[in-house]
C-alpha cells in the first residue's frame, strides 16, 4: 500500500495492477499483536479499513461481500441453526447471518480484537447485531477452535478469511478442511472467500483439491463484483459435506423478512453460472 496526501493505493503484485481511492484523512491506526489496522475517510467510498496495507472493507461496497458470503450458503442449507464464522472481524458477515430467524447461534472467531473494536467505532452499521443474544464473539485462534469443537456441532461454517499468505495459508489446507468436515453435521456446508478468478485460479484449484482430500462430497464457486478488491471481481466457494449442491430454498428467498441490497433469488442462480474459462479448468479438478 502506498499513501500520499490524497490517494490511498493498494498495489496488487499478482495482477500487476493497483486500486486507489481519494482520501480525506486517517481516522484510526493501531498496530495489534498480529497486524496493522487503519481506517481512512475517502471522498467517494465512505470509510475504508486496511489491514497491513490491504483494502478490507468500505462503507460503499461492503454489502456485496457480506451478503454473498452469507445468504447463498444459508439458503442452500435445509435448516441452518448453528453457524460459525472464522475471521470476519468487521462483523458485517455476522450481521447478515443473524438476519436469518432460523439461526439459533452464530459464533464469530477472530484472533484480532482490534479489528472488531475499530469496526465498532468507524463502521457501527456493520456491528449492529453484535449484541444479539444469538451472537457470540470470541477473540482466539479460529483454526485451533475448529480443531477442538465437538464433532457435528455446526450446520454452516463461513470462512471470512484473509488471503492465503502467511498465517492465513493454513485456512486453505486439507488439514483445516478436515477439521471443518468433522465439525459439520450431516448435510453441513462450508463457504470460504476464494479470491479473484481472473488472477487466482491456482488458489481455486488448490481449494477444490483440498476439499476433496478432506472428503467433501461436492464444491461449487459463486462469483460477484467487489470493487475494492484486486481486479474488482471476487468469488466464494461452497463445499458440501455429504450432499450435492444446486438446489436452494428459493421460496424462502422470495418471502424473506429482511432487506438486502444485492442478493435475491435471481442473483443466487446467476452467481453460480460458470464462465467458460472456469468451466474448462474445472473439468480437470476433483469434486
> Dihedral of the CA atoms 211, 186, 66, 230 (nearest 10)?
0
Contact status, residue 174 vs residue 213, Cβ threshold 8 Å: yes
Among the listed residues 4, 160, 163, 247, the single catalytic one is: 160
Compute CA distances 241 → 63, 82, 218, 254, whole Å: 27, 15, 7, 26
Calculate the alpha carbon distances from 98 to 71, 84, 106, 250, 283 in Å.
10, 11, 7, 19, 36
Side-by-side strand order, sheet with 7-12: 2-3, 7-12, 17-31, 36-42, 47-51, 54-58
Q: Which three cell numbers stand for residue 273?
A: 453460472
Contact between 176 and 252 under an 8 Å Cβ cutoff? The reply is no
**Cα atoms in the 13 Å half-sphere on the side-chain side of 36:** 8
Q: Which stretch of DSSP H or E encloses residue 120? A: helix 113-122
Q: Is 160 a catalytic residue?
A: yes
Catalytic residues: 160
Amino acid at each position: 500500500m502506498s499513501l500520499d496526501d490524497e490517494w490511498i493505493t493498494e498495489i496488487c503484485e499478482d495482477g500487476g495492477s493497483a486500486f486507489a481511492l481519494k482520501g480525506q484523512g486517517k481516522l484510526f491506526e493501531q498496530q495489534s499483536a498480529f497486524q496493522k489496522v487503519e481506517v481512512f475517510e475517502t471522498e467517494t467510498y465512505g470509510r475504508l479499513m486496511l489491514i497491513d496495507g490491504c483494502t478490507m472493507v468500505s462503507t460503499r461496497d461492503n454489502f456485496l461481500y457480506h451478503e454473498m458470503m452469507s445468504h447463498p450458503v444459508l439458503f442452500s442449507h435445509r435448516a441452518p441453526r448453528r453457524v460459525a464464522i472464522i475471521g470476519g472481524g468487521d462483523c458485517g458477515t455476522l450481521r447478515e447471518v443473524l438476519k436469518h430467524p432460523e439461526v439459533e447461534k452464530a459464533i464469530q472467531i477472530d484472533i484480532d480484537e482490534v479489528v472488531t473494536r475499530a469496526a465498532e467505532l468507524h463502521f457501527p452499521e456493520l456491528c449492529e447485531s453484535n449484541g444479539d443474544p444469538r451472537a457470540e464473539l470470541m477473540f482466539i485462534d479460529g483454526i485451533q477452535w475448529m480443531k477442538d469443537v465437538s464433532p457435528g456441532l455446526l450446520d454452516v461454517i463461513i470462512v471470512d478469511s484473509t488471503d492465503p499468505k502467511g498465517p492465513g495459508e493454513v485456512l486453505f489446507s486439507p488439514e483445516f478442511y478436515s477439521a471443518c468436515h468433522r465439525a459439520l453435521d450431516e448435510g453441513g456446508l462450508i463457504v470460504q472467500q476464494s479470491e479473484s478468478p481472473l488472477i487466482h485460479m491456482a488458489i481455486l484449484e488448490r481449494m477444490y483439491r483440498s476439499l476433496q482430500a478432506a472428503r467433501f462430497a461436492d464444491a461449487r464457486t459463486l462469483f460477484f463484483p467487489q470493487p475494492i478488491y484486486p481486479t474488482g471481481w471476487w468469488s466464494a466457494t461452497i463445499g458440501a459435506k455429504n450432499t450435492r449442491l444446486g438446489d436452494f430454498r428459493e421460496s424462502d428467498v422470495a418471502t424473506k423478512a429482511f432487506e438486502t441490497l444485492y442478493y435475491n433469488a435471481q442473483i443466487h442462480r446467476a452467481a453460480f453460472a460458470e464462465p467458460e474459462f472456469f468451466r474448462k479448468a474445472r473439468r480437470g479438478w476433483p469434486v
